[in-house]
Amino acid sequence: MAPPRTDAPSRIVRLDTEIQYVKGVGPRRAEQFAEHGIRTVGDLLCHLPFRYEDRTQFRSISSLREEEWVLTRGRIAGIGGFEGRRRRISVVEILVRDATGSVRLKFFNQPYLRSVFKPGLDLIIYGQVKRDPRAHGTLVLMNPECELHEQETGPRVHSGRVVPVYRRLGDMRTRTLRQIVFGIVSNLPPDMDDPLPGYLRRRYRLMSRDRAFALLHFPLLNGTTREARNTEMEALNRGLSPAHKRLIFEELFQLNVGLQMIRSSRTRLLKDRRLQISENVREAIKKILPFHPTVAQKRVLKEIADDMRSPSPMSRLLQGDVGSGKTIVAAQAAILAAENGYQTAIMAPTEILAEQHYFSFRNLLTPLGYRIDLLKGSLRRKEKDSALARIAAGETHIAIGTHSLIQDEVEFARLALVVIDEQHRFGVVQRGVLMEKGHKPDVLVLTATPIPRSLALTLYGDLDISVIDQLPPGRKPIETRSYEPEDREAIYKEIRRVVEDGHQAYVVYPLVEESEKIDLRAATEMARHLEREVFPDLRIGLLHGRMKSAEKDSVMTAFAAGKIHALVATTVIEVGIDVPNATLMVVEHAERFGLSQLHQLRGRVGRGAAQSMCLLVADARNNPDARRRLEIMCETNDGFRIAEVDLELRGPGEIAGTRQSGIPAFRFANLIRDRKGLELAREEAGEFLGRIRRGGDEECLRLASLIRKQVRERYGWALIG
């Protein structure tokens, strides 16, 4: 069966044809398209129908049955309804008739429909059949979707086939869009550049690209039985028809080829240094550990050391649940560099974290004679200049800071290793910039955002991955409970109990930009309330991002030294903070946090041998998603399990890390639903690039440069050389 074609004189359009030159568009509509990011024919073709309707067969009105979703048509025979007082409610009611009978349609609060529906007009109607309790239980369709049914001459666009239903764009409704898209797909050239090599299309029986685009918008059903057709319709409506699958595979394949290209272009870079691991180095590394490393820590350290000794720069992701001991491993890697006479830069997403790292690295490493410098915004010019001078002279072994560390003014004498902590704020592009900088440093990215492996391999597809899949011994799972805001007394009791046991507590408030002032006030007031009314005998601290750096320092230092019993904080403490004596985490307004955030916050406790506890204070009565989040938090401590539920609840666009990973939203693929396809695409991308390395045939070489170009355009990864 051929894809739909018109008999109209062909007017070839290409994917890069500007939308305004398409038949039926023009400058005014082009502007509306542009507002939705649609500039070319290709962009519009990627604007997927949100539903398909099988309009090959309409149901006759007399055959409609209660509860069925149906497609029917008929002529408007009468219009009625009423308008409530002060227009609070309006009902437009119309009677539609065909040769077999009549049925009523009711529209609530859409009074303008009165001027659209006129007796004598023909309608196509889609909706669910109900019994109307207000009209003696007769059948009715409530708020069905309707389209005027004009008799079509020429090719049938709106009926007699499976039709796409689009979301409205500007003032263009589905019918207009359908007409425009139909014009396009009827005129797509069959020789469209296809980024999927022929052998892959054959291997997976994937259709050509032009055909996929045509069928994506104007599907043809192959089934001859009703069941078969229903199955096909269902696949279409779930975005999994053969046309969808072809484009999903293409999207995943391209992405993976792009990422692997970045990766291999890095392995072609050569460092001008080789690190040795002598006995001295081994000894130095061992000395910093006040405990035995876990098996997992040993394994990943070896992977890192091997990379650091290899000729091309490391780009490795170190994944491990909160508290699994990533920082220690990073410190060991830094020693490896230092003992070979090289410098390490450690970048944290926030100043507080940079400071935290500074303190822990200083505690670990200064006694052994390593020199550590912290670069932060609040340094006085003189302090900063002298730190910069030490770094430039190579006296500093480890420089710690925020992103400013890779700014131009910082010159390293002998930079060998860059550690990026909590990578979810640092994407593919920035990583690339770093690699390109003078020293071709080894890059180690630390992340506690647990995502399933198949996803990690794509989201961080430009990196090698090491996993610490084990917690240090003696950790007890953090007991987690949820409370309603009214249970305040119970919560205060827990805080008191913990403090009396010699431990400390966090009380965390959400801080979101939209309500920053209110949130800050809430945290500040809570701190004051606790201090004056609830725990006049305890020391309460307050920490938030708006405080001056020196204030933050002194609060954090006091808390780490055990001089503050309870620390009220905004989410500035979300990542990385390590005070093992803190054993209670109270999260206020927990309903406002996402799962991975809650997990991160909880990870601030349970860092020592004592039993820790996390209390989630939430009003989740009318929020089923929030309830589910609280449930899973109370149920498990396993970051990977939590990540999976997070994926289910949030959907693919929202996966922690996706936004920041530098990979824009997918057009066809859905990273959760298509996990299998993702795996396959990754393997095939590897094989494809392998073919090219071995010389490749003409098609492969042509496609490689096509993909390179497309990936650059879409993702802006300049590194793909």
CA distance linking residue 74 with residue 276, whole number of Å: 83
Beta bridge partners of 445: 317, 420
Residue 349 binds to ligand ADP (criterion: CB under 6 A)? no
Residue 662 binds to ligand ADP (criterion: CB under 6 A)? no
One-letter amino acid of 504: Q
**Binder of ligand ADP out of 297, 571, 600, 658 (CB under 6 A):** 297
Tell which positions 487-516 bind Mg ion, by CB under 5 A. none
Instruction: Name the residue nearer to ligand ADP (CB basis): 293 or 662.
Output: 293
Q: How big is the site for ligand ADP, counted in residues (CB under 6 A)?
A: 17
Residue 638 binds to ligand ADP (criterion: CB under 6 A)? no
Residue 320 binds to ligand ADP (criterion: CB under 6 A)? yes
Residue range at the interface with ligand ADP (CB under 6 A); choices 43-51, 261-269, 319-327, 652-660 = 319-327
Give which of Mg ion, ligand ADP, none residue 219 binds (C-beta under 5 to 8 Å, depending on kind): none
Distance in Å, CB of 604 to Mg ion, minimum: 10
Tell which positions 439-468 bind ligand ADP, by CB under 6 A. 448
Give which of ligand ADP, Mg ion, none residue 211 binds (C-beta under 5 to 8 Å, depending on kind): none
Distance in Å, CB of 658 to Mg ion, minimum: 21
3-state SS class at 474 = coil
CA distance linking residue 389 with residue 385, whole number of Å: 6
Instruction: Name the residue nearer to ligand ADP (CB basis): 326 or 682.
Output: 326
Site string for ligand ADP, 687-716 (x = CB under 6 A): ------------------------------
Other CB atoms within 10 A of residue 288 CB = 18
Residue range at the interface with ligand ADP (CB under 6 A); choices 154-162, 179-187, 288-296, 348-356 = 288-296
Tell which positions 562-601 bind ligand ADP, by CB under 6 A. 578, 580
Q: CB–CB of 249/196 below 8 Å?
A: yes
Beta bridge partners of 130: 140
Give the β-pairing of 442-447 and 566-570: unpaired
Site string for Mg ion, 277-316 (x = CB under 5 A): ----------------------------------------
**Binder of ligand ADP out of 183, 219, 323, 541 (CB under 6 A):** 323
Write the CB contacts of 701 (distance below 8 Å, at least 6 apart in sequence): 692
Residue 606 binds to ligand ADP (criterion: CB under 6 A)? no
Residue range at the interface with Mg ion (CB under 5 A); choices 289-297, 323-331, 475-483, 670-678 = 323-331
Residue range at the interface with Mg ion (CB under 5 A); choices 7-15, 297-305, 481-489, 570-578 = 570-578
Q: Which of 685, 679, 559, 680 is nearest to 256 (CA)?
A: 685
CA distance linking residue 400 with residue 678, whole number of Å: 37
Q: Tell the burial category of 186 from Cβ atoms under 10 Å away from its Cβ (0-12, 13-18, 19+).
A: buried
Give which of ligand ADP, Mg ion, none residue 606 binds (C-beta under 5 to 8 Å, depending on kind): none
Beta bridge partners of 40: 18
**Binder of ligand ADP out of 3, 74, 325, 639 (CB under 6 A):** 325
Residue range at the interface with ligand ADP (CB under 6 A); choices 21-29, 112-120, 290-298, 333-341 = 290-298
Strand order in 613-617's β-sheet?
479-483, 613-617, 582-587, 504-509, 566-570, 540-543
Residue nearest to Mg ion (CB): 576
Helix (H) or strand (E) holding 567: strand 566-570
**Binder of ligand ADP out of 55, 178, 326, 544 (CB under 6 A):** 326
Residue nearest to ligand ADP (CB): 325
Residue range at the interface with Mg ion (CB under 5 A); choices 103-111, 180-188, 375-383, 574-582 = 574-582
Write the CB contacts of 202 (distance below 8 Å, at least 6 apart in sequence): none
CA distance linking residue 231 with residue 228, whole number of Å: 5
Write the CB contacts of 702 (distance below 8 Å, at least 6 apart in sequence): none
Residue 295 binds to ligand ADP (criterion: CB under 6 A)? no
Residue 607 binds to ligand ADP (criterion: CB under 6 A)? yes
Residue 576 binds to Mg ion (criterion: CB under 5 A)? yes
Q: How far is CA 148 from the centre of its chain?
A: 40
Beta bridge partners of 401: 347, 375
Beta bridge partners of 80: 93
Q: How far is CA 198 from the centre of its chain?
A: 32
Distance in Å, CB of 286 to ligand ADP, minimum: 12
Identify each DSSP E strand in 393-478 by its residue range: 398-401, 415-421, 442-447, 464-468
Buried b or exposed e, range 460-477, using 16+ CB within 10 angstroms: bbbbebbbbbbbbeebee
Give which of ligand ADP, Mg ion, none residue 323 binds (C-beta under 5 to 8 Å, depending on kind): ligand ADP
Q: Which of 306, 328, 327 is nearest to 316 (CA)?
A: 306
Q: Which of 539, 538, 546, 608 is nearest to 571 (CA)?
A: 546
Give which of ligand ADP, Mg ion, none residue 597 binds (C-beta under 5 to 8 Å, depending on kind): none
Q: CB–CB of 541/558 below 8 Å?
A: yes
Instruction: Name the residue nearer to Mg ion (CB basis): 576 or 606.
Output: 576
Alpha-carbon distances, residue 81 vs 96, 121, 459 (angstroms):
14, 18, 54
Can you say whether the dihedral through the CA atoms of 259, 265, 268, 269 is positive or negative?
negative
Give which of Mg ion, ligand ADP, none residue 450 binds (C-beta under 5 to 8 Å, depending on kind): none
Residue 356 binds to ligand ADP (criterion: CB under 6 A)? no
Instruction: Name the residue nearer to ligand ADP (CB basis): 125 or 471.
Output: 471
Give which of ligand ADP, Mg ion, none residue 50 binds (C-beta under 5 to 8 Å, depending on kind): none
> Interface residues with Mg ion (CB under 5 A)?
327, 576
| Residues at the interface with ligand ADP (CB under 6 A) | 291, 293-294, 297, 320, 322-328, 448, 472, 578, 580, 607
